[in-house]
Amino acid sequence: MRVLVTGGAGFLGSHLCERLLALGNYVICADNLFTGSEDNIRRLFNHPRFEFLRHDVILPLSVECGQIYNLACPASPRWYQKDPVYTMKASFLGALNVLELARTAGARVLQASTSEVYGDPDRSPQPESYRGCVSTVGPRACYDEGKRAVETLFFDYRRQYGLDIKVMRIFNTYGPRMSINDGRVVSNFIVQALKGEDITIYGRGTQTRSFCYVNDLIAGMTALMNGPENFTGPVNMGNPEEISIKELAKTIIRLTGSRSRLAFKELPADDPRQRRPDIALAKRELGWSPTVGLEEGLKLTIDSFKMLIGY
């Protein structure tokens, strides 16, 4: 199978490229390196079934492929708020371009959507039937609303053109190859702990998240792509194990043996109070559930960051 991965040089994309190669596919990785890095895929450059294209997904792309994974979009608040107009373009125009490519090539196409479509939920855990509580005008809206619009576009393409689509809603994912400056909570806490700096917590730290190790997420992603045609999603992918941000910080301090202290700052606008996936649908339709516990995954991630920062 010839498989296109947009955003393939990013954190998730690079792990996906490796997984697809291991499964025997020919992989075309397209990325403009806005948040991705060639370092994430450098080990693949000499692979006979790997091809890298420096390409921005907001522009049309023509390649031969049987499957498309659309992961191209800034995903951390620090980066998607840096250029919110581009974030909206990457979401909507990127999706439009991959959908047109899929229609032309007769390819199955998977959209990496997000738990952010639920906004600041008033229901926990969040099932796929929950329609969310999202601000259309806040600082996170460029990402949240961009992804919501993309889901609409995907299902309209299925209704209007009969396109073979898959939509997954990704909850917080972590692991090796996260960028040290991407602004996400796991990487922030690990870097600060390893450097002995104060751990920055926004708000009181009582807000909760659920963290999925990257290998589990990629396994779920490929299971959805290769699952039955009539199961389109949207489907939640994440680890339902819930933890407060304050407890996460304490766990990382303990696992790193750090002397870092907690430093509390003002909570950003529209920051969700809780985030926990209901994964009953993924279990029932795909036989998928995460297998890596939080502490096990954090230890593996901490080890990778030690190498990254020369600890």
Q: Which domains does the chain have, with CATH numbers?
A: 2-172+213-240+276-290 (3.40.50.720)
Element (H, E) at 94: helix 84-105
Residue 186 has pLDDT above 90, yes or no: yes
Write the CB contacts of 229 (distance below 8 Å, at least 6 apart in sequence).
Answer: 108, 164
- Can you tell me the mean pLDDT for 108-132? 95
Q: How confident is the model at residue 270 (pLDDT cuts 50, 70, 90)?
A: confident
> From residue 5, how far is each of 104, 150, 193, 286, 297 by CA, in Å?
17, 17, 33, 21, 25
111: left (phi over 0), alpha (psi -120 to 50) or beta: beta
Percent of the chain with pLDDT over 90: 93
Identify the pLDDT of residue 30. 98
- Dist. CA 78–CA 82, nearest whole Å: 6
Q: How confident is the model at residue 98 (pLDDT cuts 50, 70, 90)?
A: very high
Give the closest residue to 185 by CA, choosing from 201, 197, 196.
201
pLDDT band at 183 (very low <50, low <70, confident <90, very high): confident
State the Cα–Cα distance between residues 131 and 34, nearest whole angstrom. 31
Q: Is 143 a catalytic residue?
A: yes
Residue 219 is classified by DSSP as H
Q: pLDDT (tens digit, 9 = 90+) per residue, 41-72?
A: 999 999 999 999 999 999 999 999 999 999 99
**Does the pLDDT of residue 311 top 80, yes or no?**
no
How high is the pLDDT of residue 67?
A: 98
**pLDDT band per the 50, 70, 90 thresholds, residue 25:** very high
Among the listed residues 143, 157, 174, 213, the single catalytic one is: 143
3-state secondary structure of 50: strand
**CB distance 221 to 7 below 8 Å:** no
Is the pLDDT assigned to residue 269 strictly greater than 90?
no
